[in-house]
C-alpha cells in the first residue's frame, strides 16, 4: 500500500452520508485534538512545557508524559526520543522512520463513532496504510486510528477523548477497555461503562492525579497561576515538507482540509489550510525555508501554535519566558508568513523546536473567503503597541470551555 496522492485512487466524485449530508469523504475533521514532540532531553523539555508554558501533566506515558491545557485528557504529548523510536519504528514500520520527524502525533477530532468506522474502510479502500486502530487502551481517546501521510508523519483521527474533571483524576487503568479493531456495532455510552466498572468494584479514585509545587505568583486576569498567561488553544500545526504540491493534495483530497490561501515568498509557495472557521489549523512550508528563516534544520516542525487568552498575556508571556532563559523572537518569521495571525512571538524549546505564541486568529465567514491582506492589521514585529484597537473578529472563534485551572 502507498500513501501518496496521485499513486492511489482518492474516491474523488464519490459521496458519503455524513450525518445526513453528502460529503466527499466519510468523516469531517472538526479540530486539532493534540500534538506532540519527541525530546532528546526529556527532563529539560518537561520543565519547558509544563513548568514554563503551563501545560498540566495528566499522567506519565510509557515514554514520557501526557499533558493538557484544559479538560481533554491530553492536548500535548512529550516523549523521550530514543525510547519512542525504539518502540515505534520496528519491523514493517522501520521503513517509515525519518530522523527529522520528531513529531510523535498530529491528531484530529471527528464527530462520531460512525465516522471513525467509515474512515477505517475509506483508508483501506484507497490504499492508505492504517498503522493501528480501535479503542485506546492507554489514556485519552476512545476510538482512534493512525495513518502515515506521504512525508511519513503520523496522523491520528479520533472520536471522543477522556475528560479530566474538577478533581484532576484520570480514568483508572482498569477502566480503559482497549481493543485493536474498529467499531462495527453501536457502542455503550461512557456513563454505562463506568457504571459497570463501579459494580465490578473498580474505584474511580484509583486513577492518577498529578501534583505540582509551582508557586501561584501571577494574577492572570483574576486567577493566580504559576505563569502570567494561560494557553487556551493548541494549533496551528506548521510543517516543513519536501514536496509541497503532493502534501497539499493529500491534505485537501484525502483528509478534507480547505485551502484558505497561499503565499509566495522568495520564489516558492506555502499554504494555509483550515478544518473549521479559523483561518488555518495547518500550514505547509517548503523545507528549503528552514535555513532561510533561521529555524532548525533537524526537524520537520516549522512551528507549533499555542493561543494565549489575550494580547496582554502574550506580551507578559514573552517577558516571562525571556526572564527564564528561553529564546523568544518576535521578528524571525515575517508577518506575511503567518497570515490570519497578527502579533506573534516564537519561543524555542531545548531541542530547538519553534513554538508560535499568539492571541488572535482570523475567522473565515460563510462565503469561505479570508480577509483581504490589505485590510489586515499592519504589524511591526519589532514594536508592539501597549494596547490594540479591536478587529471585527477579535476574541471570536472557539471559546475556552470551563475554568482556566
Could you tell me how far CA 230 lies from the centroid of its own chain? 17
What are 323-370's pLDDT values in tens digits?
Answer: 999 999 999 999 999 999 999 999 999 999 999 999 999 999 999 999
Measured between its terminal Cα atoms, the distance across the chain in Å is 45
Give the residue from 162, 186, 214 where a domain finishes.
214
| Same domain assignment for residues 129 and 85 | yes
Assess if residue 11 is contained within a domain. Answer: no
Give the residue from 214, 240, 273 where a domain finishes.
214
| Same domain assignment for residues 51 and 197 | yes
Assess if residue 141 is contained within a domain. Answer: yes
Q: 134: left (phi > 0), else alpha (psi -120 to 50), else beta?
A: left
| Same domain assignment for residues 180 and 256 | no
Residue 274, CA atoms < 13 Å, CB-side half-sphere? 19
Assess if residue 279 is contained within a domain. Answer: yes
CB 227 within 8 A of CB 53: yes
| Same domain assignment for residues 171 and 250 | no
Assess if residue 397 is contained within a domain. Answer: no
User: Residue 3: what pLDDT?
Assistant: 31
| Same domain assignment for residues 248 and 305 | yes
- DSSP output for 341-396: --SEEEEE-TT--EEEEES--PBP-TT--PPPGGGSPP--TT---SS-PPPTTTT-
| Same domain assignment for residues 146 and 254 | no
- The number of domains in the chain is 2
What are 134-189's pLDDT values in tens digits?
Answer: 888 777 778 999 999 999 999 999 999 999 989 999 999 899 888 888 888 899 89
What the block records as the C-alpha cell of 285 is 512550508
CB 105 within 8 A of CB 36: yes
What are 231-266's pLDDT values in tens digits?
Answer: 999 999 999 999 999 999 999 999 999 999 999 999
Rg of the chain's alpha carbons, rounded to an integer? 21
Assess if residue 246 is contained within a domain. Answer: yes
| Same domain assignment for residues 40 and 176 | yes
The CATH number of the domain holding residue 135 is: 3.10.180.10
User: Residue 7: what pLDDT?
Assistant: 34
Question: Which residues have C-beta within 8 Å of that of residue 313, sequence separation ≥ 6?
Answer: 220, 221, 228, 229, 230, 359
Assess if residue 283 is contained within a domain. Answer: yes
| Same domain assignment for residues 246 and 196 | no
DSSP 320: H
Question: Which residues have C-beta within 8 Å of that of residue 374, sequence separation ≥ 6?
Answer: none
Average pLDDT over residues 212-230: 96
Assess if residue 8 is contained within a domain. Answer: no
Tell me how far apart the alpha carbons of residues 149 and 389 are, in angstroms, rounded to a whole number: 41
Assess if residue 39 is contained within a domain. Answer: yes
CB 180 within 8 A of CB 134: yes
What are 18-27's pLDDT values in tens digits?
Answer: 999 999 999 9
| Same domain assignment for residues 49 and 195 | yes
- DSSP output for 57-85: EEEEETTEEEEESSSBS-SEEEEEHHHHH
Q: pTM, whole model, 2 decimals?
A: 0.95
| Same domain assignment for residues 311 and 179 | no
Tell me how far apart the alpha carbons of residues 55 and 227 are, in angstroms, rounded to a whole number: 10
User: Residue 211: what pLDDT?
Assistant: 87
| Same domain assignment for residues 301 and 339 | yes
What the block records as the C-alpha cell of 101 is 520527524
| Same domain assignment for residues 244 and 122 | no
Neighbours of 221 (CB within 10 A): 14
Burial of 380 per CB tally in 10 Å (0-12, 13-18, 19+): exposed
Its domain, for residue 358, covers 230-375
User: Residue 12: what pLDDT?
Assistant: 62
CB 237 within 8 A of CB 35: yes
Give the residue from 147, 180, 214 where a domain finishes.
214
Average pLDDT over residues 4-29: 78
pLDDT higher than threshold 80 for residue 57: yes
Amino acid at each position: 500500500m502507498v500513501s501518496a496522492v496521485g499513486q492511489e485512487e482518492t474516491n474523488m466524485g464519490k459521496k458519503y452520508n455524513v450525518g445526513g449530508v453528502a460529503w466527499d469523504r466519510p468523516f469531517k475533521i472538526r479540530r486539532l485534538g493534540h500534538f506532540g514532540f519527541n525530546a532528546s532531553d526529556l527532563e529539560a523539555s518537561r520543565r519547558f512545557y509544563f513548568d514554563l508554558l503551563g501545560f498540566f501533566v495528566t499522567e506519565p506515558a510509557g515514554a514520557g508524559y501526557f499533558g493538557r491545557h484544559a479538560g481533554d485528557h491530553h492536548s500535548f504529548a512529550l516523549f523521550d526520543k530514543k525510547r519512542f523510536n525504539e518502540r515505534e519504528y520496528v519491523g514493517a514500520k522501520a521503513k517509515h522512520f525519518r530522523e527529522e520527524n520528531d513529531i510523535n502525533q498530529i491528531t484530529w477530532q471527528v464527530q462520531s463513532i460512525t465516522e471513525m468506522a467509515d474512515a477505517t474502510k475509506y483508508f483501506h479502500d484507497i490504499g492508505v496504510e492504517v498503522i493501528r486502530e480501535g479503542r485506546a487502551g492507554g489514556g485519552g481517546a476512545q476510538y482512534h486510528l493512525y495513518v502515515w501521510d506521504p512525508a511519513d508523519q503520523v496522523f491520528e483521527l479520533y472520536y471522543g477523548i477522556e475528560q479530566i474533571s474538577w478533581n484532576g483524576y484520570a480514568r483508572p487503568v482498569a477502566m480503559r477497555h482497549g481493543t485493536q479493531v474498529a467499531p462495527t456495532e453501536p457502542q455503550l455510552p461512557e456513563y454505562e461503562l463506568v457504571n459497570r466498572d463501579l459494580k465490578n468494584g473498580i474505584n474511580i479514585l484509583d486513577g492518577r492525579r498529578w501534583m505540582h509545587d509551582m508557586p501561584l505568583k501571577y494574577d492572570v486576569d483574576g486567577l493566580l497561576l504559576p505563569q502570567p498567561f494561560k494557553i487556551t488553544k493548541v494549533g496551528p500545526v506548521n510543517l516543513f515538507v519536501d514536496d509541497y504540491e503532493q502534501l497539499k493534495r493529500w491534505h485537501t483530497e484525502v483528509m478534507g482540509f480547505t485551502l484558505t490561501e497561499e503565499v509566495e515568498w522568495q520564489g516558492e509557495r506555502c499554504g494555509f489550510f483550515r478544518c473549521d472557521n479559523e483561518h488555518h489549523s495547518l500550514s505547509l512550508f517548503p523545507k528549503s525555508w528552514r535555513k532561510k528563516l533561521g529555524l532548525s534544520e533537524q526537524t520537520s516542525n516549522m512551528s507549533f501554535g499555542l493561543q494565549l487568552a489575550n494580547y496582554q498575556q502574550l506580551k507578559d508571556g514573552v517577558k516571562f519566558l525571556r526572564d527564564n532563559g528561553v529564546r523568544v523572537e518576535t521578528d524571525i518569521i515575517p508577518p506575511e508568513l503567518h497570515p490570519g495571525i497578527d502579533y506573534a512571538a516564537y519561543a524555542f524549546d531545548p531541542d530547538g523546536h519553534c513554538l508560535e505564541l499568539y492571541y488572535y486568529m482570523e475567522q473565515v465567514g460563510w462565503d469561505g473567503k479570508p480577509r483581504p491582506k490589505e485590510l489586515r492589521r499592519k504589524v511591526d514585529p519589532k514594536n508592539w503597541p501597549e494596547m490594540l484597537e479591536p478587529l471585527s473578529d477579535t476574541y471570536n472563534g472557539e471559546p475556552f470551555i470551563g475554568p482556566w485551572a
